[in-house]
Each structure stands twice: as C-alpha cells, then as structure tokens.
Amino acid sequence: MEKQALPASSCSLVLLEETKKSPITLSNGGGGSVAGGVVGTACVGQDKKGGVVNGVGPGYQERETWTRQMDFIMSCVGFAVGLGNVWRFPYLCYKNGGGVFLIPYLLIVFVGGIPIFFLEISLGQFMKAGSINVWNIAPLFKGLGYASMVIVFFCNTYYIMVLAWGFYYLIKSFTATLPWSSCNNEWNTPSCIEIFHHQDCKNASFANITVGSSNMTCADLADARSPIIEFWENKVLSISSGLDEPGKMNWELILCLMAVWVLVYFCVWKGVKSTGKIVYFTATFPYVVLIILLVRGVTLPGAYDGIMYYIKPDWSKLEEAQVWIDAGTQIFFSYAIGLGALTALGSYNRFNNDCYKDAFILALINSGTSFFAGFVVFSILGFMAAEQGVDISQVAESGPGLAFIAYPKAVSLMPVAPLWAALFFFMLLLLGLDSQFVGVEGFVTGILDLFPGKYYHRYKREIAVAICCLLCFIIDLSMVTQGGMYVFQLFDYYSASGMTLLWQAFWECIVVAWVYGADRFMDDVARMIGYRPFPWMKWCWSFITPCVCMGIFLFHLVNYKPLTYNNVYVYPWWGEVIGWCLALSSMLCIPVSLLYKLFRAKGTFKERWAHLTTPVWGAHHLEYMAPDIKSLSSMSPGTDDNKVIIFESVM
C-alpha cells in the first residue's frame, strides 16, 4: 500500500514524526516506541475509512494469548460440546424422524450455525476484545455486548445446578447398592415399585388382577412410581407443590454447589494460560467415557432395537415445521452462539490465526459428538426398554429427565451398577464443567475489558472471578430450596431460551453485514488469515442467516406456550412475568442502548449515525494494520519520508 503523509493540522492518524536511528518496535498489544517515545500517546482520531484510532496509553496492558493454538481448539470444544449434545440432540433425532432429522440439521448448520460461529470467533480475534468492547466495530450497537453479558451471566447462574446435581449423584454412586435402585429408603412412598409388570396387564381382562409380588392391581400400577423418580423428586429435590412454596434449603446440595463453584473458580482465576491446560482433560476425557459406555451399551440385550429406533428414517416428518424449528434451535444451543464466550475465546488468538479453518473443525467436532452420543444413549435405552418389557418411546427422555431418571434407572439394571453410574456422572460433570468455566471466563473477560490499563491491579482478575462466582452462588441458593426446581426451569425456559439467542444472532449478522459492511469485514478476515473466505459466508451474514434466525424467532413467538413442570404444574401469572423479565432483560439491551446513544449524540440524524457507527480501533491495529512497518527502520532521518502513517485504514 502506498504511504501518504498526514496533514499537519490533523491528529486523526498515528504519525511517526521522527524515526531517527532507532528502529520501530511494536508489541503484540500494539504498544510501540520510536526513539524511546510511545506511539500515539495522545492521538485519538479517525482513519481514512472513518475508524477511530485509540492511541496507546502508558498503562496499556498487552493482551495475553493462548500458549498453543490447540488450547483455543480445546477450549471451544469444551465450551460448545456440553450436556445438550448428550441429552438433547439424541432425543430430538428420535422424535423428529430418526436419520431424516439430519437433513434439516445439516442444512441449518451450513446456513446458520457455522456462519455465526465463524463470525463470533473472527470478530473477537480481529478486535482483540471480549463480548462488549468487540462491538467497538460499530459503537452504536454496543448493546449487543451488554445483551450477551446478561445471557451468559444467567447461563452461568443456573447451568451449574446441573453440575451440582451430577456431583451429588456421583457421590451417591460410591455405594454397594445404588440408593435409587430400591424402595427401602426413608424417602420412598407406598406407591413405589421396583419392577413394573406392564406385560402382565396387557392381556388382563380385569383391572383388579394382582401383578407381580407387589400386591398391586393393574389399576394401581398407573399411579405407581419408580424408585429413581422418588429419589430424584423426594430426596434430591425434596420438591414442593409450587413456585410459591420455596420451603427449606437442602444442605447436601448446598455443599455440592459450593464444591463445584470452588472448582470453577480455580479453573478460571489465572486466565487462559491455566484454562487452556485444564480443558485438555475436561474436553477429551468425556469422549473416553462415551466410548466405554458405547462398548458396554451395544453388548446389552435390546441395544440393537434402541439404535434402530434412533436412526430409522421417517420421511413424513420433513413436512412438519416443528422438525425444522427443532433443528435450528438445537444448533443455536449446542454451538453456544450469542453468549459472547466464543468472542472472548477468539480474542486470545494470535491476530493471524486461521479462524476460518478452526470454525469448520469445531463445527464437525460438535455435530459429530451429538450424533455419536445418540448411539450411546439409545443403546442403553433399548436395553432398559427390553428389561421392562415396554416400548422405547416410554423410556426415551431428554434434558434432566435423561440424565437423572432414565440413565440412572438403566445402570441400576446392569451388573456392577455403581461402576457404570460413577462413570456416567463423572462424564456428565466434566461435560458441564468446561462449559461452565469457559462461560465464566467469557463473562469476566467482558467485564475486565471495560477497565483500561490505568485501573491495573495485580490481582484484578482473581478478584473479578471471585465476585462473579460469589454473586452467582448467592442467586443459586434459591435453586437448592424445595421450590428450587421451579426457579431453575424459569431461568432455563426464559433467560437463555431459543428466542433470546436467535434475537442476539439476528442482530449480530445485521450489524456486521449492513452497518459495518460484509465486504469490509471479509477484507479484515483476509488480512488476518491471509486469504479471502468463500463468499458463502458473506451471503449468509447478509441475507440467509438473518432470515433463518428471524423465521425461527417468530415461530417461537407465535407458538409460545406457558411454562409447566412435568406437564402437570402450571406456573402462576407472576411466575411468567418473572420469566419474561429475565428474557427481556437481555433482549431490550440492544434497542434501549441504541436509542440512548442516538438521543445523547449531537447533530442531525445522519451526523449522529455516521459518528456512532464509526469503528473505534484497538491499540493492536497499530501493528497489524501497518502498511509497511519493516520499511520504516530503513529510512534516512531528516527527509519527508520520516512522516509516515503507520495506521491508515482497515486494509
């Protein structure tokens, strides 16, 4: 690029007035020195394309990067591959036509999942900032950053409850007899029955025929409860009759919750240098356990029927809109889109990392894990159905129902049951743990980016992580009460629901493609990775992905159903109001922030828009966007060529 001199009256670009004999040195973070001075210590202005250049202040902290690129890959795998891949995808696949479900699933992966996944990672890498400051690329829409922070905060708050329950089950697995395998416990009721003799009632002419050795009639059998359901509801949850009856706290769950939060804290407190090492274990070991469970599962009677039930195609399902909606919603959940954590992880990449290739690798791992987990889950469910003499549809579950009811019930029927139970819940804990601590990492990164270098404190990160964990723990105490499950469902259904994530993804595409410019951002990506991505990405960001997101969003809105627990308990009106407040607290960040900034700005609407959509470049751009830095040190002093712009434009 040809170098141009900066007008003497302007401070819009960083200008090197004197190079003398000292070579230019620019740090990875963008700090630079010329003859002992700091580049741009007082210069803040606009570049040729309208971007504002932030000068490098004396307190600027160089952003840390991953020790190895594999640390980033593993962290993304750990975060994006979580409980949803194991307990939600297999159920959706069986429910929506088996193998046929892969058609809408893969289609939406390529038109929605991968484009936004790549957008978030590349945006973080380009701007070298967390989920809030990354939107300096179009400051008017910084509300997107605040929205993602709200969503990931809610996720961090309620998601860890699954880990606390899993940890509780893991501890209870270290016994000779699993506590949920019998009806001889203090929490069991007279309705508890260990073996359901459904087959005895199929041909029964009278409802009062006694079945098995339980002295129960076929009529009583309809109201009978298995010991695993009673263990879950009466022992673990001690569930009350509704949201308006919080009841007392479960001290055992409080201890489990505390232990998991302490574990999360020490995984995150030192930043990506330590997190990048921990995920090598937490992200890979679940695959070892999944393979062990699959080998065990396929050797069980009934496993073949279960697997065929999982993959057998039902082509008629493609005509149903719900199948396509489920595919889209699952992708946004499992790819962890809209939470801002992927942006934070990408911000620790080297500027020239090939994030385009990374996006495809991570998408393949994520979707491949989901499909593979289905074979594990349904081989076990097939065995469970064969043991009980019922159809697989009666034992197939998703969500917590699979993790804490169906699977524990299945392992209780196996030889050496405690071993398989411990393995499963250890895998569950690891699957959720890395998703949890990377989510906390993303939140803390966004918060710390708001405080510039002049607020530097030696233990700033450790204190910020501690405050975040403590605040979430205090909120979590409402979920370890007897009414805690109702609170948990409120958070799960509203705060990080499909609607909030779709709303977030829609605006991300609109801002990058139409406000900043899709072609412009493609140029930026080319500058980073050394080649221009396939135009498909640009087309998706500009047209296809926003339409997919808004279409699924409107479908959710039109087909909205009030929240229920177990399809029996209907939440009171004020419970739904709380839920909608949780949802709107993130969704309204975008329009409210936009209107506030527009009203606060001065000038005509056109002038306000132009000013507020002008990118604010970070200090690292001084190095990476330099036209030809190497040639600067070879210039002779005292000539006009000494006055060189080291940052001219995005490209």
Binding region for Na(+): 78, 80-81, 85, 334, 366, 431, 434-435
Residues 76, 468 contacting (CB under 8 angstroms):
no
C-alpha 518/C-alpha 541 separation (Å) is: 7
The phi, psi pair for 382, rounded to 5°, reads -65, -40
Q: Label the pairing between strands 210-211 and 52-53.
A: unpaired
Element (H, E) at 253: helix 251-268
Among residues 121, 152, 154, 528, which one has the least CA distance to residue 345?
Answer: 121
Q: Strand, helix or coil at 26?
A: strand
Cβ atoms of 553 and 505 closer than 8 Å: no
Supply angle C-alpha 318, 364, 347, rounded to 5. 120
Structure tokens at 176: 């000779």
- Give the helix/strand (H/E) hosting 124: helix 114-127
Residues in Cβ contact with 646 at an 8 Å cutoff, skipping those fewer than 6 apart: 14, 15, 16, 24, 32, 39, 622, 626, 627, 629, 632
- As beta bridge partners, residue 46 has 52
Name the β-bridge partners of 32: 26
- Give the CA-trace dihedral at 544, 550, 553, 554, to 10 degrees: -120
Query: What b/e readout covers 182-203, taking b as 16+ CB neighbours within 10 angstroms?
Result: ebeeebbeeebbbebbeeebee
CA distance 243 to 239: 10
644 DSSP β-pair partners: 16
β-pair type (564-565, 569-570): antiparallel
Using DSSP, state whether 199 is helix, strand or coil: helix
Instruction: Identify the bridge partners of residue 565 per DSSP, sorted by sequence position.
Output: 569
Give CA–CA dist 269/464, Å, rounded. Answer: 9
The candidate with the shortest Cα–Cα distance to 529, out of 212, 125, 62, is 125
Nearest partner of 384 among 374, 394, 375, judged by Cα? 394
Q: Residues at the annotated binding site?
A: 78, 80-81, 85, 334, 366, 431, 434-435
The full length of the chain comes to 651
H/E run at residue 569:
strand 569-570
Report helix, strand or coil for 225. Answer: strand
